[in-house]
């Protein structure tokens, strides 16, 4: 009986140590990721490439062209829009109405039997 408390505290302490080590590993991985991102951002070539790709910017004096994606036939796109699922709130309301109409033919439920 005299060993129960120290053993419980030992197990609790080991659990806390394991949790803190996992947290330390997670923070270290995040730190390494941030350092790598910082190195990338400070690289002028990466910055120029990212500006061209993401923002479609051009170097001064350069001619840049943006080619839009080819549109597919309008017919299948319109058909896909017609068969799209309704918004969640419409589905919810329909289920509430369905439950309500299922109860009405029941002659009012428990209060209707009086």
Per residue in 24-76, pLDDT tens?
999 999 999 999 999 998 998 988 888 888 888 888 888 888 788 887 765 55
Q: How many CB atoms lie within 10 A of CB 52?
A: 14
Per-residue pLDDT at 113 exceeds 50: no
- Name the DSSP letter for residue 59: -
Per-residue pLDDT at 19 exceeds 90: yes
Q: 3-class SS at 83?
A: coil
- Quick check: is 109 in a domain? no
- Quick check: is 30 in a domain? yes
- Quick check: is 81 in a domain? yes
Tell me the percentage of the chain whose pLDDT exceeds 70.
Answer: 80
- Quick check: is 51 in a domain? yes
Q: 3-class SS at 34?
A: helix
CB 103 within 8 Å of CB 109: yes
- Quick check: is 111 in a domain? no
Enclosing domain of residue 29? 4-59+74-103
- Quick check: is 97 in a domain? yes
Mean pLDDT of the chain, nearest integer:
81
- Quick check: is 113 in a domain? no
Which pLDDT does position 75 carry in this prediction? 53
Domain count, the chain: 1
């Amino acid at each position: 009986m005299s060993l129960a408390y120290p053993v419980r505290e030992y197990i609790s302490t080991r659990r806390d140590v394991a949790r803190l080590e996992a947290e330390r590993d997670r923070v270290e991985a995040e730190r390494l990721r941030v350092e790598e991102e910082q190195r990338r951002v400070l690289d002028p070539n990466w910055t120029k490439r990212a500006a061209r790709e993401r923002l479609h910017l051009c170097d001064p004096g350069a001619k840049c062209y943006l080619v839009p994606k080819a549109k597919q036939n309008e017919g299948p796109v319109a058909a896909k829009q017609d068969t799209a699922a309704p918004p969640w709130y419409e589905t919810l309301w329909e289920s509430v109405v369905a439950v309500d109409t299922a109860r009405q033919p029941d002659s009012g439920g428990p209060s209707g039997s009086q």
